[in-house]
A and B are shown apart, each in its own frame.
Chain A
Amino acid sequence: MFELKHEMLRKLAREFAERELEPIAADAEKNGGYPKELQKKAAECGFGGITIPKEYGGAGGDYKSLAIVVEEFCKKDAAASSMLMSNSLSGAPYLYYGTEEQKQKYLKPMVLGETIGAFALTEPGAGSDSAATQTTCLWDEEQGCYILNGRKCFITMGPVCDYAVVFAKSDLQAKGTRGISAFIVEAGWEGFSRGKAEEKMGMHASVTSDLIFNNVKVPKENLLGEEGQGFKIAMGILDAGRVTVAAQGLGIAAGCLDLAVRYSKERVQFGRPICKLQDVAFKLADMATEVQAARLLVYDVADKLDKHEKVTMQAAMAKYKAGETCNTVAYKALQIHGGYGYMQDYAIERMTRAARLVSIYEGTSEIQKLVISGNLLK
């Protein structure tokens, strides 16, 4: 399934991760952000729009390519891949449901690295149960626009985004999820504010916050898709989102495995490298097998997505597996590092904390199991 272009892309992503991400990862974690030049460099390489068509500044590539880049980045620094992923996640709604004007105005600059776009679905009362949206965006005939009120939380790039795709109830009468619509909301508009940057357990360089809307006037050109289509839009792009996050989990797991293998060869105790101890060696064997299993799931789904096959169940499997695997592998890798693994000087510490999020966001492992079993037991 991999062609020459995928091999070359892996080489590029690996070089970029080693030269640009790895050296600054620890500082980025401490400072809670990346230097601006990094985003520019990534945009120049075209990492910002791998799957976005060329007309909108992207490379017009496939999901395997995206998964490869995400994996290689996450081996060195999980938070850095959020810079790309927020484009695939927050870019996809424009791509599939946006008008030409919306794509040119919002999608293209995002892909080119000129602006930052966010994806705002989650609310304090609507996490896994995303249909329980309480944010409203109601048409005001008098003012000739929608009025947006509500609060979104845990939004990646919240503190720095220039605009966001916001899911809100546009029809209070409609049943279930049919009242939800998607809107493009600009950060500069009156009434738009951000909460404080969250202090998370990990991935500090990827900033997260609430987005608060207080009577924000949303022009009708900024309705994305049709009224009532919002939930469909959110769910529709989730398959691709799942593959991307699964690749993130895979990258973290693979990176932790590499660190553990290297450390076990260098660390000498009782007169020999600890990799000669069977328990350590067997731990590594387990970890490597888990990583390989996750890898095959991820790339199989990416391949099927590229072929436009239906992948909902497999995407959920990949995300579930990768999310769990990166946590178990990180745990074991840190254990192999012993005391040094607990020190912030060593990358494994940061990666273990980053791993913890992967089984939670973009659909918790439990939600994935819901999707898998739902499909299985149809």
Chain B
Amino acid sequence: MSGADFLNLVIAALLLAGVYAAMAVGMTVIYGVMKIVNLAHAGFLMLGAYFVYELYERGGIDPLLGVLLAFPVFFLFGIGLHLALIRRLPVSDQPTLASLLLLFGLWLVLQNLGYLIWGNADRAILTPRTLSVLRFGPLTIPAVRLVVFGGAAAALAGLELVLRRTWFGRAVRALMQNRDAGRLVGIDVEGTARVAFGVGIAFAGAAGGMLAMLYSFSPDFGSPFLLRAFVIIVLGGLESFAGVAAGALVLALLETFSIQVLPASYQPAIAFSLLVVALAVLPGGLAGLWSRKRRWA
């Protein structure tokens, strides 16, 4: 592998990591605040992809604008789902049997609604941007990946700002650390959980739209990404936003470089093996590494 090839792969992995982080962060918000593993994440990714696709095909709305529109639409969708279903789950500090099964059932419903509405043919969003490439000497960067990375980075920066600067963000971070203590200082746990669920779903829908600009999709679109999102948040230690970024980078690097040695059809097995290795070696995730160091100090 020449130096330019190596650099190209690193850039490709970096750009991929941005989307992966946007995809996984919604899951982290929901897990952190509610201790619910959002198994229906894949369903929302898929719906986001079709949302952006339909806006583009029917309304001629640019996919990037479509992704922007996906945020409020899926936020409201998430709020509605929380009111209708999630609210009824028992509150717990651990994922319960009931919450896993409920969200799994929701995933099955969303996925098969997708099949009902759109059939099982593969679709793709093709814009003039899709195939154009930027060249910097020996380096080539697909334009659409750069655009999607920009979108993902902006969304993540926005979320970070909200979490750092607003009352809601402080409440979310407090509940992630300790729910009971949060309640003691007067945080509205259910209200915060409702908004957090909405934010998680909004990120899932928007990330689905971003992924739809890069890949073709069908109603089964989300499931390979569901496992990737899990791997990323487990690598990130489940409840850490910096961990999500690091986890996304590790997975993207591994996937991009493994193409060199492994056939592409083995890609789903890579994410799974990484999960097993992470659990065996780094039970606290990457974030556990530095917190363990801090504890020793």
Question: Are chains A and B native binding partners rather than an unrelated pairing?
Answer: no
